[in-house]
A and B are shown apart, each in its own frame.
Chain A
Amino acid sequence: MSYKVLYYVNQFFGQVGGEDKAGMAPVMKDEKVGPAMGFDQLMGEEAEVVGTIICGDNYFNENNEEAIKFIVDAVSEKKPDLVVAGPAFNAGRYGMACAGVAKVVADELEIPVLTGMYKENPALDESRAKAIVVETTDSAAGMKNALATMSGLAKKILKGEKLGYPEDEGYFAQGRRLTVFSDKRGSERAVEMLLARLKGEDFKSELPMPVFDRVAPAAAVKDLSKAKIALVTSGGIVPNGNPDRIQSASAQKWGKYNIAGKDSLEGEFYTIHGGYDPVYANELPDRVAPLDMMRKFQKEGLIGEVYEYFYTTTGTGTSVGNSIKFGVEIGKELKEAGVDAAILTST
């Protein structure tokens, strides 16, 4: 049984034209065009390219919605097992188009995506986690090697085989940290690593330091006395009984609770956070989420009102990925509710 591959290229590799055709709307060709041909040959009997989408780089980036819709319809029609885009080498707009294909096909349609880029392609960071991005040279002179690596990986992906290390297989690390067994215990590896450092020998760290982003500061609230301010915490403060069963560590969800008319959280809330001594928060949850003072300031007129919902989750062990998701979801609700600002407490 031969697997089906749908191929995406831009106007240039699709042999339509150069910059002058960058605005072309996407078309679906039943034939294999450009790199799709070479790729198809390399796949041999194992897979067949059943169609080539050709789309102008400018069109994709400027008419994103229409372009995405075209891709989705094409996938629905051709029902491929794998979608291949590019390789884009160092071309930024082409890379962004491949990234866009990866996003919709991998995330929403849940079909694997394969592409190729040069390490400096500006679209690399947003593509690498969603698609398998093969490392290429910076120009089309590297097409032959790129397609060779891509087809090798495609065969594994189609068969559901586990890919080897990124550095061995020739693709950019996706950022997936996989826990595996080592033949040596951690302390032994640490002693060996230290000896290597002391002797000036090569060593490889098992944990690259994270790089966090900067958040652009929001504008200040113009008139606090009229402002609606929300209270949010990662201290795991929840209503007695933890009705939504928020986890004690590694939270998979957040909760929102109506605090209208309440002057304090005492007696009705407690903490389920597994990362700190809970005794003091259980006595008085306002020590973690200070509703009492916010209510006081509301009554005094320092602030307009306290938003009627209080948002909470557990911070300890909660992945950055989930934290970002919660932040975006809660932020959206607050914005839609006309909240002007939020106080976030953490433990």
Chain B
Amino acid sequence: MNLELRKIEIKDVVFGEETGVKDGVLTVCKQDIIDGLKEDVNVKSIKVDIAKPGEKTRIIPVKDVIQPRIKVEGKGNGFPGVTSEMVQLGSGKVNVLDGVAVVTIGDIVGFQEGVIDMWGEGAKWTPFSKTLNIVVDIEPVEGLDPHTHEATVRVAGLRAAELIGKAGKDAQASAVEKYEMGDIFTEASKYPDLPKVAYVEMLISQGLLHDGYIYGVNSGKILPTLIHPNEELDGAVISGNCVAACDKITTYQHQNNSAILDLYNRHGKDINFVGVILTPELTTLEGKFRTCDYTAKLCQTLGVDGVIVSEEGYGNPDSDLLMICKRLEDSGIKTVLITDECSGWDGMSQPLADTTPEAVAVVSTGNVSHVVELEPADRVIGSAEAIATLAGGWEGCLQEDGSMVCELNAVIGATSEIGYHNLTVELY
């Protein structure tokens, strides 16, 4: 497969008459977005705002973050299987509005939505304080059941990214990234001496607000699946979850999966990056045994020497992470795990809910309970009070002056377990 991501550098976003890009400035026609999204009868109203890095703006409660793009050559614009017709992804040319993110907010569906601060202390802890954010506030019609509410908001966010992405159709790219990888045998014969490495990406698949979608298929329904890294980079995997804001993989982070990108960077140089295995984290013990056995078996079938395994979430999925690790290590495959930890406010608690001695190489992406103090914002897009019910917040953590204390749990992308952000943990 051969995929070209053509980065159009966007330096500013403004509202205007017509959606388009000129001289690095993205103009968004607010009404077009609103009209486009209201085509869904379950959408009652839409508000669109812009939040820029450095502004004393707080966005809350955040559901998802999506990168606006448009496919200029090849099939598969939008999100096949979800917002557009089913096609094979992973090839072609995609114009990317680099530096822009669509952030969805709205009536809270569940406890796991999060916060993004565009300035100050809060900005350090989320990668999305550095993107020009187009915030889409989606209000669904009354009376929707929770599952429909979630689906409505999810699809609206993806559609918004599609509509905005159109702006990049004829724009000039300032950088082009090429992702080319043939079949396994071809690549192995090109690099016979390089160690074969696979990436196992665990996806939380545990029901409402804990789902992932691959070409629109709910990850709770799949067996572990081999997928070409280009497919994920091209939009095949989207987020249906807010497992906890800190470590949920946003759609943006699937489109720009850092583990895939960092492995791809080394492909043909020090490793032979063989592929990606998507593994669901299920809610039954039998399901966990099945997926962990299956994942290990796929790795063994691929004949890999090493595997990077990333988790999504914490608690019960720690069990899957460690079971996969043990099965791989026992069969002679070397692993590195990427996970966050629940070490308590004081950092003195055991980091994981489960343990196995085979896990000798682990990257920690932060303690989800690390407490941060966020200053009052000049502008809140959304509802500041939501923090009281978010995971990582609590009743009373929002002060009258607008400042708040909360755990990293509530901050979007803070402890990303695909290693997207740069936190680590040290032992004192």
Contacts and interface: CB of A to CB of B under 8 A. Distances in A.
Q: Do chains A and B touch in the complex (CB under 8 A)?
A: yes
A193 B361 contact: yes
Interface residues of B, number: 89
Interface string A188-205: 111101110110000101
A22 to B, nearest CB: 33
A214 to B, nearest CB: 13
Contact of B407 (A185, A250, A278): A250
B423 A194 contact: no
A247 B336 contact: no
Contacts of B347: 176-179
Nearest to A196: B361
A317 B208 CA distance: 18
Contacts of B184: none
B342 A245 contact: no
Contacts of B208: 277-279
Contacts of A210: 350-352, 355
Chain A contact residues, majority secondary structure: loop
B409 A317 contact: yes
B336 A183 contact: no
A279 B110 CA distance: 11
B359 interface: yes
Nearest to A200: B334
A20 B96 CA distance: 82
A248 B263 CA distance: 36
B365 A186 contact: yes
A177 B111 contact: no
B90 to A, nearest CB: 20
Interface in B408-422: 408-409, 416-422
Given A186-B420, A279-B208, A178 B425 contact: yes
Contacts, number: 247
Contacts of B396: 245
- Of residues A129, A187, A315, which shows the largest number of chain B Cβ atoms within 10 Å of its Cβ? A187
Contact of B348 (A165, A177, A208, A316): A177
Interface string B185-211: 000000000010100000000111110
B352 to A, nearest CB: 6
A322 B349 CA distance: 8
Interface string B360-397: 11111111111000000000000000001111111110
- Of residues B210, B313, B314, B336, which shows the largest number of chain A Cβ atoms within 10 Å of its Cβ? B336
A279 B390 contact: no
B403 to A, nearest CB: 19
A319 B345 contact: yes
B315 A275 contact: yes
A1 interface: no
* The 4 A-B residue pairs with the shortest CB-CB distance in the complex, in nearest-first order: A277-B207, A186-B419, A319-B344, A187-B419
19 contacts: A166-B428, A177-B347, A177-B348, A178-B347, A180-B423, A181-B424, A185-B422, A186-B420, A187-B419, A197-B334, A206-B362, A250-B342, A275-B316, A275-B391, A277-B208, A316-B391, A319-B343, A319-B348, A320-B344
